[in-house]
Structure 1
Amino acid sequence: MTSAVSRVPAASSAEALNHFESLLKFETDCWDVHHALSNGLQDFVLVDVRGQDMFAAGHINGAINIPHPRLNEKSLAHFPKDTLFVVYCAGPHCNGTEKAAIRLAKLGWPVKKMIGGVTGWLDEGFTLKVLESLDQGEIV
């Protein structure tokens, strides 16, 4: 008798290595983003792709806000084409990061998603910055 876990055989070690190494080309996690932000190692632009009200209610300090429908040549014009964007949204229940990543990739910018989004960030024990007014944050 086999479990649902082992019913489909695991990939070979070589296939697993290729798969998991490839994932890191497309995503990063909250800890790595936090470490970069906390240690002056930010070599990417962190973009909160939720709406302005959600951004104002709480976002990662150091992030800018460009809601995913507004990611276009005009809103990104001041960024060099080799700028790495790291996008995040509300969390695993939201596909805003995928929509944002598709837009950025179509426009020719490198992009990764921060897995977990705001939910993951809070789960790790990190805090959010809350704006008293929309004038306090960088909203594009």
Structure 2
Amino acid sequence: MTSAIAFFEARLAFETDVSDVHADLEAGVAGVVVIDSRSAESWRQGHLPQAVHLPTREIAARAAEVVPPGASVVTYCWGPGCNGATRAALEFARLGYPVKEMIGGYEYWVREGFPVRDEHGVRARPADELTAPIGAACGC
């Protein structure tokens, strides 16, 4: 049991989900910087409205200009089939930033019905009933 407890505590220390990130952003939790680590083409296709675009290959050179001292970083990429957010989180960790990976990525942000920004403005799709209860919070 001890190893299982340590494993799950570590996951919660370094991972967050789209619902928790959305709640923190809506509540205006100070000191959280959400980083979209995808390509410029992906960013233009749509991104979290409050996110900062910083592709993984640019993190080492630009992190200090986009993340204020003392801030915590949340990274995301496309979705669960992509490890881009993991690679981005590793880069931030190497630089000494407190960081979490947003599991589910952009895909689950959209599927849960949260707003996205693209060249046409901010919009949201209806929640996918396979990922979130329609009209209610998950409750987990």
- Where on the TM-score scale, by shorter chain, does this alignment land: which range? 0.7 to 0.9
> Which residue of 74, 77, 80 maps to 1:92?
80
Q: Distance in 1 between matches of 2:30 and 2:43?
A: 20
Q: Distance in 1 between matches of 2:112 and 2:31?
A: 22
> Which residue of 54, 64, 73 maps to 2:52?
64
Partner of 2:110: 122
* Matched length: 120
* 1:113-138 alpha-carbon deviations (Å, 9 max, x no partner): 000001111221212111259xxxxx
Q: Distance in 2 between matches of 1:62 and 1:80?
A: 15
- 1:82 matched to 2:70: yes
Q: Distance in 2 between matches of 1:80 and 1:64?
A: 12
> Does the 8 Å contact 2:36/2:76 carry over to 1?
yes
Where in structure 1 do 4 or more consecutive aligned residues deviate above 6 Å?
Answer: none
Q: Distance in 2 between matches of 1:80 and 1:127?
A: 25
* 1:55-114 alpha-carbon deviations (Å, 9 max, x no partner): 111000100000111111x31223345321100000011111111111111111111100
Percent sequence identity over aligned pairs: 38
Secondary structure of 2:119's aligned partner: coil
> Does the 8 Å contact 1:81/1:108 carry over to 2?
no
| Alignment gaps of 5+ in structure 1 | 1-11, 134-140
Q: Distance in 2 between matches of 1:76 and 1:20?
A: 29
Alpha-carbon offset, residue 42 of structure 1: 4.3
* RMSD of equivalent CA atoms: 1.7
| Alignment gaps of 5+ in structure 2 | 122-140
Q: Distance in 1 between matches of 2:40 and 2:11?
A: 29
> Does the 8 Å contact 1:58/1:128 carry over to 2?
yes
Mean CA deviation greater in 14-23 or 114-123: 14-23
Higher relative contact order (CA 8 A, sep 6+): 1
Task: Pick the structure with greater CA Rg.
Answer: 1
Q: Distance in 1 between matches of 2:12 and 2:30?
A: 17
Q: Distance in 2 between matches of 1:42 and 1:32?
A: 14
